[in-house]
Amino acid sequence: MYSQLSLFEPDRADELCVAGAVVLRGLARSNEFAILSALQSITQAAPFRHMVTPGGYRMSVAMTNCGSFGWVTDHKGYRYDAKDPDSGQPWPPMPKIFSSLATAAADKAGFPGFKPDTCLINLYKPGAKLSLHQDKDELDFSAPIVSVSLGLQATFLFGGLRRSDFVHKVLLTHGDIVVWGGPARLAYHGIMPVKNGEHPLLGATRINLTFRKAKGETIV
Ligand SMILES: O=C(O)CCC(=O)C(=O)O
Ligand SMILES: [Mn+2]
Protein backbone atom coordinates (compact mmCIF):
# COMPACT_ATOMS: atom_id res chain seq x y z
CA MET A 1 0.00 0.00 0.00
CA TYR A 2 0.93 3.65 -0.05
CA SER A 3 3.22 3.44 3.00
CA GLN A 4 5.74 1.40 1.02
CA LEU A 5 6.19 4.17 -1.49
CA SER A 6 7.93 7.45 -0.99
CA LEU A 7 6.96 10.77 -2.44
CA PHE A 8 10.41 11.79 -3.32
CA GLU A 9 13.09 9.86 -5.08
CA PRO A 10 15.56 8.57 -2.49
CA ASP A 11 18.55 9.42 -4.68
CA ARG A 12 17.75 13.12 -4.64
CA ALA A 13 19.04 14.79 -1.52
CA ASP A 14 16.40 17.53 -1.53
CA GLU A 15 13.52 15.09 -1.70
CA LEU A 16 12.29 13.41 1.46
CA CYS A 17 9.75 10.72 2.21
CA VAL A 18 6.14 11.53 2.98
CA ALA A 19 3.78 8.62 3.67
CA GLY A 20 0.91 8.53 1.21
CA ALA A 21 2.52 10.67 -1.49
CA VAL A 22 4.45 9.58 -4.56
CA VAL A 23 6.03 11.20 -7.61
CA LEU A 24 5.82 9.02 -10.71
CA ARG A 25 8.51 10.56 -12.88
CA GLY A 26 7.62 11.00 -16.56
CA LEU A 27 4.63 8.65 -16.44
CA ALA A 28 2.50 10.88 -18.71
CA ARG A 29 5.17 11.38 -21.36
CA SER A 30 4.33 8.43 -23.56
CA ASN A 31 0.80 9.82 -24.04
CA GLU A 32 1.76 13.48 -24.36
CA PHE A 33 0.37 14.08 -27.86
CA ALA A 34 -2.94 12.35 -27.18
CA ILE A 35 -3.30 14.27 -23.90
CA LEU A 36 -2.58 17.63 -25.54
CA SER A 37 -4.96 16.93 -28.39
CA ALA A 38 -7.75 15.99 -25.95
CA LEU A 39 -6.96 19.14 -23.99
CA GLN A 40 -7.43 21.27 -27.09
CA SER A 41 -10.96 19.92 -27.63
CA ILE A 42 -11.82 20.59 -23.97
CA THR A 43 -10.57 24.17 -24.03
CA GLN A 44 -12.46 24.90 -27.26
CA ALA A 45 -15.70 24.05 -25.44
CA ALA A 46 -14.68 25.43 -22.03
CA PRO A 47 -11.91 28.03 -22.44
CA PHE A 48 -9.41 28.83 -19.70
CA ARG A 49 -10.45 31.69 -17.45
CA HIS A 50 -9.06 33.47 -14.38
CA MET A 51 -11.50 32.83 -11.56
CA VAL A 52 -11.96 35.08 -8.56
CA THR A 53 -11.58 33.92 -4.96
CA PRO A 54 -14.39 34.52 -2.44
CA GLY A 55 -12.21 37.37 -1.11
CA GLY A 56 -12.22 39.05 -4.54
CA TYR A 57 -8.67 38.09 -5.58
CA ARG A 58 -8.17 37.20 -9.28
CA MET A 59 -6.22 33.96 -9.47
CA SER A 60 -2.96 34.11 -11.47
CA VAL A 61 -3.58 30.55 -12.67
CA ALA A 62 -6.16 30.23 -15.46
CA MET A 63 -8.51 27.25 -15.07
CA THR A 64 -11.08 25.08 -16.75
CA ASN A 65 -12.48 21.60 -16.05
CA CYS A 66 -13.71 18.41 -17.61
CA GLY A 67 -15.71 15.55 -16.14
CA SER A 68 -19.05 15.32 -14.35
CA PHE A 69 -18.14 18.23 -12.11
CA GLY A 70 -15.87 21.25 -12.27
CA TRP A 71 -14.17 23.15 -9.47
CA VAL A 72 -15.19 26.79 -9.46
CA THR A 73 -14.64 29.82 -7.28
CA ASP A 74 -16.37 33.20 -7.22
CA HIS A 75 -17.63 35.64 -4.61
CA LYS A 76 -20.02 32.93 -3.33
CA GLY A 77 -17.20 30.52 -2.45
CA TYR A 78 -15.32 27.41 -3.60
CA ARG A 79 -17.41 24.51 -4.86
CA TYR A 80 -18.01 21.86 -7.50
CA ASP A 81 -20.58 22.54 -10.17
CA ALA A 82 -21.87 20.24 -12.91
CA LYS A 83 -22.10 23.23 -15.27
CA ASP A 84 -19.56 25.71 -16.57
CA PRO A 85 -20.79 29.05 -15.16
CA ASP A 86 -19.44 30.89 -18.24
CA SER A 87 -21.50 28.91 -20.75
CA GLY A 88 -24.27 27.40 -18.63
CA GLN A 89 -23.39 24.06 -20.28
CA PRO A 90 -22.14 20.86 -18.62
CA TRP A 91 -18.35 20.65 -18.48
CA PRO A 92 -16.83 18.68 -21.39
CA PRO A 93 -16.74 14.95 -20.61
CA MET A 94 -13.50 13.53 -19.28
CA PRO A 95 -11.61 11.90 -22.18
CA LYS A 96 -10.79 8.21 -21.73
CA ILE A 97 -7.09 9.00 -22.14
CA PHE A 98 -7.33 11.25 -19.04
CA SER A 99 -9.29 8.88 -16.80
CA SER A 100 -7.17 5.86 -17.79
CA LEU A 101 -3.98 7.74 -17.00
CA ALA A 102 -5.31 8.88 -13.61
CA THR A 103 -6.48 5.37 -12.71
CA ALA A 104 -3.15 3.85 -13.78
CA ALA A 105 -1.13 6.43 -11.83
CA ALA A 106 -3.20 5.96 -8.67
CA ASP A 107 -2.87 2.20 -9.02
CA LYS A 108 0.91 2.47 -9.35
CA ALA A 109 0.99 4.68 -6.26
CA GLY A 110 -0.92 2.14 -4.18
CA PHE A 111 -4.48 3.45 -4.55
CA PRO A 112 -6.25 0.86 -6.73
CA GLY A 113 -9.65 1.52 -8.30
CA PHE A 114 -9.46 5.32 -8.43
CA LYS A 115 -12.27 6.68 -10.62
CA PRO A 116 -12.06 10.47 -10.89
CA ASP A 117 -15.28 12.37 -11.59
CA THR A 118 -13.54 15.68 -12.17
CA CYS A 119 -10.36 17.03 -13.70
CA LEU A 120 -9.37 20.60 -12.89
CA ILE A 121 -7.06 21.94 -15.60
CA ASN A 122 -4.65 24.66 -14.52
CA LEU A 123 -2.69 26.89 -16.90
CA TYR A 124 0.35 28.74 -15.57
CA LYS A 125 2.17 31.46 -17.48
CA PRO A 126 5.53 32.60 -16.05
CA GLY A 127 4.91 34.31 -12.71
CA ALA A 128 1.67 32.40 -12.00
CA LYS A 129 1.56 30.53 -8.68
CA LEU A 130 -0.74 28.65 -6.36
CA SER A 131 -0.42 29.45 -2.68
CA LEU A 132 -0.29 26.71 -0.05
CA HIS A 133 -3.73 25.14 0.28
CA GLN A 134 -5.52 21.86 0.99
CA ASP A 135 -7.80 20.15 -1.55
CA LYS A 136 -10.83 19.88 0.71
CA ASP A 137 -13.90 20.76 -1.33
CA GLU A 138 -14.46 17.08 -2.17
CA LEU A 139 -16.94 14.91 -0.29
CA ASP A 140 -14.76 11.83 -0.42
CA PHE A 141 -11.31 12.08 1.14
CA SER A 142 -10.76 8.33 0.82
CA ALA A 143 -9.87 8.85 -2.85
CA PRO A 144 -6.41 10.21 -3.70
CA ILE A 145 -5.47 13.26 -5.77
CA VAL A 146 -3.67 12.60 -9.05
CA SER A 147 -1.80 15.59 -10.43
CA VAL A 148 -0.17 15.58 -13.89
CA SER A 149 2.44 18.18 -14.87
CA LEU A 150 3.00 19.20 -18.50
CA GLY A 151 5.14 21.86 -20.15
CA LEU A 152 7.35 24.22 -18.17
CA GLN A 153 8.85 22.88 -14.97
CA ALA A 154 7.71 24.17 -11.59
CA THR A 155 8.59 23.85 -7.93
CA PHE A 156 5.88 21.95 -6.07
CA LEU A 157 5.53 22.69 -2.38
CA PHE A 158 4.37 19.78 -0.26
CA GLY A 159 3.83 20.23 3.46
CA GLY A 160 1.90 18.50 6.19
CA LEU A 161 -1.58 18.64 7.64
CA ARG A 162 -0.96 22.02 9.25
CA ARG A 163 -0.07 25.13 7.27
CA SER A 164 2.90 25.68 9.57
CA ASP A 165 4.40 22.20 8.95
CA PHE A 166 7.71 21.78 7.13
CA VAL A 167 7.32 22.19 3.36
CA HIS A 168 9.26 19.98 0.92
CA LYS A 169 10.21 21.43 -2.44
CA VAL A 170 10.00 19.12 -5.43
CA LEU A 171 10.87 20.10 -8.99
CA LEU A 172 8.20 18.78 -11.35
CA THR A 173 8.89 18.47 -15.05
CA HIS A 174 6.90 17.54 -18.15
CA GLY A 175 5.15 14.20 -17.69
CA ASP A 176 5.62 13.86 -13.93
CA ILE A 177 2.59 12.72 -11.94
CA VAL A 178 2.19 13.30 -8.20
CA VAL A 179 -0.31 11.15 -6.32
CA TRP A 180 -1.26 11.82 -2.72
CA GLY A 181 -3.85 10.19 -0.52
CA GLY A 182 -4.37 8.25 2.70
CA PRO A 183 -2.47 10.04 5.49
CA ALA A 184 -1.32 12.72 3.02
CA ARG A 185 -4.73 13.40 1.45
CA LEU A 186 -5.20 16.72 3.23
CA ALA A 187 -1.57 17.85 3.07
CA TYR A 188 -0.95 21.51 2.30
CA HIS A 189 0.59 22.01 -1.12
CA GLY A 190 1.17 24.72 -3.71
CA ILE A 191 3.23 25.85 -6.69
CA MET A 192 5.94 28.51 -6.54
CA PRO A 193 5.85 31.24 -9.20
CA VAL A 194 6.63 29.54 -12.52
CA LYS A 195 9.90 30.70 -14.02
CA ASN A 196 10.19 31.91 -17.57
CA GLY A 197 11.17 29.28 -20.11
CA GLU A 198 10.28 27.64 -23.37
CA HIS A 199 8.96 24.10 -23.53
CA PRO A 200 9.26 22.29 -26.89
CA LEU A 201 5.55 21.38 -26.93
CA LEU A 202 3.91 24.03 -24.77
CA GLY A 203 6.12 27.11 -25.10
CA ALA A 204 6.04 29.43 -22.09
CA THR A 205 3.24 27.50 -20.42
CA ARG A 206 2.79 24.96 -17.65
CA ILE A 207 -0.37 22.85 -17.62
CA ASN A 208 -1.51 20.80 -14.65
CA LEU A 209 -4.29 18.24 -14.67
CA THR A 210 -5.67 17.58 -11.18
CA PHE A 211 -7.91 14.51 -11.00
CA ARG A 212 -10.20 14.15 -8.02
CA LYS A 213 -13.24 12.36 -6.82
CA ALA A 214 -15.42 15.34 -5.97
CA LYS A 215 -18.63 13.64 -4.91
CA GLY A 216 -19.36 10.50 -2.97
CA GLU A 217 -20.43 7.42 -4.94
CA THR A 218 -24.01 7.68 -3.72
CA ILE A 219 -24.83 11.08 -5.15
CA VAL A 220 -22.99 10.94 -8.47
O1 LIG B 1 -0.42 22.83 -10.44
C2 LIG B 1 -0.18 21.95 -9.61
O3 LIG B 1 0.77 21.16 -9.73
C4 LIG B 1 -1.03 21.84 -8.37
C5 LIG B 1 -2.46 22.22 -8.60
C6 LIG B 1 -3.29 22.17 -7.37
O7 LIG B 1 -2.82 21.97 -6.28
C8 LIG B 1 -4.73 22.39 -7.46
O9 LIG B 1 -5.26 22.65 -8.55
O10 LIG B 1 -5.41 22.30 -6.42
MN1 LIG C 1 -4.42 21.54 -4.79
pLDDT digits (tens, 9 = 90+) for 18-47: 899 999 999 999 999 999 999 999 999 999
Q: How many Cα atoms sit within 13 Å of 158 on the Cβ side?
A: 28
- Burial state string for 58-90 with b = 16 or more CB within 10 A and e = fewer than 16: ebbbbbbbbbbbbbbbeeeeeebeeebeeeeeb
| Domains (range + CATH), the chain | 14-212 (2.60.120.590)
Instruction: Say whether pLDDT at 162 is over 70.
Output: yes
Ligand 2 centre from 135 Cα, in Å? 5
Q: What is the atom index within ligand 1 of the atom nearest the CA of 149? A: 3
Q: Note residues around ion ligand 2 (Cβ under 5 angstroms).
A: 135
CA 177 to centroid of ligand 1, rounded, Å: 11
Q: Which residues line ligand 1 (CB under 6 A)?
A: 120, 122, 130, 135, 147, 149, 156, 189, 191, 208, 210
Cβ atoms of residues 154 and 176 within 8 Å: no
Residue whose Cα lies nearest atom 2 of ligand 1: it is 208
- The residue among 93, 79, 114 whose CA lies nearest residue 185 is 114
| CA pair distance 98, 39, nearest whole angstrom | 9
For residue 189, what is the enclosing H or E element?
Answer: strand 189-191
pTM, whole model, 2 decimals?
0.93
Q: For 172-219, what is each residue's pLDDT tens digit?
A: 999 999 999 999 999 999 999 999 999 999 999 999 999 999 997 544
According to DSSP H, which parts of the chain are helical?
32-45, 96-108
Which pLDDT does position 17 carry in this prediction?
60
Query: How much is the average pLDDT of 85-90?
Result: 98
Looking at residue 220, its pLDDT comes to 37
CA of 200 to the centre of ligand 2 (A): 26
The pLDDT of residue 18 is 83
d(CA 61, CA 107) in angstroms, rounded, equals 29
pLDDT at 5: 44
Band (8; pLDDT cuts 50, 70, 90) = low
Phi first, then psi: give them for residue 146, nearest 5 degrees.
Answer: -120, 125
Which protein residue's CA is at the shortest distance from atom 9 of ligand 1? Answer: 210
pLDDT reported for residue 217: 58
pLDDT band at 140 (very low <50, low <70, confident <90, very high): confident
Which ligand 1 atom sits nearest the alpha carbon of residue 178?
3
